[in-house]
Amino acid sequence: MPTTIAHAVALLNQAAPLHLAEDWDNVGLLLGDPGERLRGILVCLTLTADVAEEAIARGDNLIVTHHPLPFRPLDRITTETHTGTLLWKLARAGVAIYSAHTAFDSASNGANDHLASALGLTDVAVLDPAATSSAGGTGRIGCAAATLGELAERARVSLRATSVRATESAARPAGRVAVACGSGGSLLEMALAVGCDTLVTGEASFHDCLKAQSAGVAVLLIGHFASERSSLDGLAERLAAEIGVPVTASQIERDPLQPV
The 3-state DSSP class for residue 48 equals coil
Q: Which domain covers residue 152, as residue numbers?
A: 108-227
CA torsion through residues 149, 257, 58, 67, sign = positive
Q: Supply the DSSP string of 197-220, one letter for each residue.
A: SEEEEEE--HHHHHHHHHTT-EEE
CB of 148 closer than 8 Å to CB of 165: no
Which of the two residues, 92 and 258, has the higher pLDDT score?
92
Provide the whole-model pTM: 0.94
Examine residue 250 and state whether it is found in any structural domain, yes or no: no
Q: How far is CA 95 from CA 41, 47, 150, 167, in A?
A: 10, 12, 42, 43
Examine residue 150 and state whether it is found in any structural domain, yes or no: yes
Examine residue 260 and state whether it is found in any structural domain, yes or no: no
Q: If we measure between CA atoms, which residue out of 256, 48, 251, 43 comes closest to residue 162? A: 256
Q: What angle do CA 108, 106, 241 make, to 5 degrees?
A: 45
Examine residue 54 and state whether it is found in any structural domain, yes or no: yes
Domain harbouring 185, CATH code: 3.40.1390.30
- pLDDT given at position 135: 65
Query: Residue 137 pLDDT more than 90?
Result: no
118 and 68 housed in the same domain: no
Examine residue 240 and state whether it is found in any structural domain, yes or no: no
Q: If we measure between CA atoms, which residue out of 120, 227, 216 comes closest to residue 163? A: 227
Q: Cα–Cα distance between 183 and 85 in angstroms, integer?
A: 27
Which of 103, 129, 150 is the endpoint of a domain? 103
Residue 243 backbone class (left: φ over 0; alpha: ψ -120 to 50; beta: rest): beta
| DSSP H helix total and E strand total for the chain | 9, 11
215 and 121 housed in the same domain: yes
- pLDDT given at position 131: 56
30 and 59 housed in the same domain: yes
162 and 145 housed in the same domain: yes
Q: Count of domains in the chain?
A: 2
Binding-site residues for a divalent metal cation: 66-67, 105, 224, 228
pLDDT tens track for 191-230: 999 999 999 999 999 999 999 999 999 999 999 999 999 9
98 and 151 housed in the same domain: no
63 and 155 housed in the same domain: no
The 3-state DSSP class for residue 99 equals strand
Binding-site residues: 66-67, 105, 224, 228
Q: How many residues does the chain have?
A: 260
144 and 95 housed in the same domain: no
Query: Residue 120 pLDDT more than 70?
Result: yes
Q: Cα–Cα distance between 19 and 22 in angstroms, integer?
A: 8
pLDDT tens track for 16-66: 999 999 999 999 999 999 999 999 999 999 999 999 999 999 999 999 999
Examine residue 10 and state whether it is found in any structural domain, yes or no: yes
The secondary structure element, H or E, covering residue 243 is: none
